[in-house]
């Protein structure tokens, strides 16, 4: 047998080029790790037959340890774009729960598929073993995250495995061997109706921070993190403008004209005298901090949407009001029309009215037709 259990660890031994090669895989001698240990043994055999020295054994580290080191690295790599680092940390909150103490080198594509199944179910139902109907987290649906969130999680996991390979914690990236939800299947856009908006803000008024963040997203089309990073020097109430100084692209760094209700909100915030218009010692406070108050507000109002949907709603309403797409792209902070089109979702009624407007325009009369008419 090529594998042997020595002191609780899988070892392999074989002969190549007239000599005996004995190595440890570094993996705990469990049935779960046996397949990976065999793959490591076969890889060592191929290397030895080719006249090469066996590969250095992988360093066995837990997923928690590897993930925390990866996130620290990501914070530095994305320091100019903190929203990207925050997105990774949001995904890893769930990844840590699922993989936790599992050695990184032992994670197989099948386990990544298991994670997908787990995330598609409501975590509250699973953690508390509740009857689906009694769960307030999923509203009794039993459903977990949407496909766009799962897509984010898998991309974050794949990035960590690429990092792990460079650190000799893994031989391969198992995420590349599973299917990741496509952009088409990951759509989770919802345009908030006027009735939903009214119901939501009635209850959001009890939570001033949430209320003001949500209002600014809806009124100005800003990204949630752009609202949370606002400083006193970014706002000029006399001119009625707001400057977004940080962003992933040049287009994201832009100036916006303030609407009347926006001016009222910002004037009230500025009167409080804080450097940052929204609370928190960390100026890059992640939007996830608002998830709990937002969730409570949704349940009280009897509606369902994510905060980012308010940005989609702004874009759709602006397009319906006749704002040219190129202008709308600049307001939203996009550098191309392809990006802004994803945010605009005309209703069926809007499409019907557009056709009616076309019919209202008199058709040009061809000279020949005019002669026959006479």
Per-residue pLDDT at 1: 55
8 A C-beta contact, residue 223 and residue 306 = no
Per-residue pLDDT at 56: 62
8 A C-beta contact, residue 81 and residue 248 = yes
Note down pLDDT in tens along the chain; length 374 residues.
578 888 888 888 877 766 677 778 777 888 878 888 888 788 777 777 765 555 567 788 999 999 999 999 999 988 877 778 888 998 999 999 999 999 998 899 999 999 999 988 865 555 544 343 344 444 444 566 778 888 999 999 999 999 999 998 998 899 999 998 876 655 567 889 999 999 999 999 999 989 999 999 999 999 988 898 888 889 999 999 999 987 767 888 899 999 999 999 999 988 887 667 876 544 445 566 788 899 999 999 999 888 989 999 999 888 888 888 888 889 998 887 777 777 676 667 767 777 776 777 676 655 555 554 55
**b/e map 310-338, b = 16+ CB within 10 Å:** bbbbbbbbbbeeeeeeeebbbbbbbeeee
Per-residue pLDDT at 197: 95
d(CA 243, CA 226) in angstroms, rounded, equals 10
Per-residue pLDDT at 131: 41
d(CA 360, CA 362) in angstroms, rounded, equals 6
Using a CB cutoff of 8 Å and minimum separation of 24, what contacts does 3-7 make? 3/34, 3/37, 3/38, 3/41, 5/29
Enumerate domains of the chain plus CATH numbers.
3-49 (no CATH), 63-177 (1.10.150), 194-352 (1.10.443.10)
As given in the structure block, the two tokens for residue 48 are 């030895």
- Alpha carbon separation from 126 to 98, 143, 148 (Å, rounded): 12, 11, 21
Structure pTM?
0.57
């Amino acid at each position: 047998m090529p594998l042997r259990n020595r002191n609780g660890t899988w070892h392999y031994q074989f002969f190549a080029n007239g000599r005996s090669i004995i190595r440890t895989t570094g993996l705990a001698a469990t049935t779960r790790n046996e397949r990976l240990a065999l793959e490591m043994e076969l890889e060592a055999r191929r290397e030895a037959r080719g006249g090469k020295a066996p590969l250095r054994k992988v360093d066995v580290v837990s997923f928690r340890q590897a993930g925390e080191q990866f996130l620290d690295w990501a914070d530095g790599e994305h320091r100019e774009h903190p929203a990207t680092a925050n997105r990774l940390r949001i995904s890893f909150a769930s990844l840590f729960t699922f993989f936790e103490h599992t050695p990184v080198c032992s994670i197989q594509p099948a386990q990544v598929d298991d994670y997908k199944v787990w995330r598609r179910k409501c975590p509250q139902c699973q953690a508390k073993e509740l009857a689906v109907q009694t769960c307030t987290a999923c509203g009794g649906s039993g459903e977990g995250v949407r496909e766009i969130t799962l897509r984010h999680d898998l991309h974050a996991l794949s990035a960590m495995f690429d990092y792990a390979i460079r650190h000799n914690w893994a031989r391969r990236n198992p995420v590349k061997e599973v299917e990741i939800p496509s952009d088409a299947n990951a759509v989770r856009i919802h345009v908030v109706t006027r009735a939903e908006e009214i119901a939501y803000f009635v209850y959001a008024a009890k939570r001033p921070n949430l209320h003001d963040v949500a209002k600014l997203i809806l009124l100005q089309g800003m990204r949630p993190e752009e609202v949370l990073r606002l400083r006193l020097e970014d706002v000029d109430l006399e001119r009625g403008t707001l400057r977004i100084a940080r962003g992933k692209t040049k287009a994201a760094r832009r100036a916006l004209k303030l609407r009347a209700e926006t001016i009222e909100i910002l004037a009230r915030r500025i009167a409080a005298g804080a450097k940052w218009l929204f609370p928190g010692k960390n100026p890059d406070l992640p939007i996830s901090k608002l998830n709990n108050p937002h969730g409570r507000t949704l349940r009280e109002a009897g509606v369902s949407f994510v905060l980012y949907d308010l940005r989609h709603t702004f874009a759709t309403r602006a397009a319906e009001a006749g704002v040219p797409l190129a202008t709308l792209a600049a307001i939203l902070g996009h550098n191309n029309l392809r990006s802004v089109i994803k945010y605009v979702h005309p209703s069926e009624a809007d499409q019907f009215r557009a056709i009616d407007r076309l019919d209202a325009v008199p058709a040009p009369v061809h000279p020949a037709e005019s002669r026959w008419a006479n």
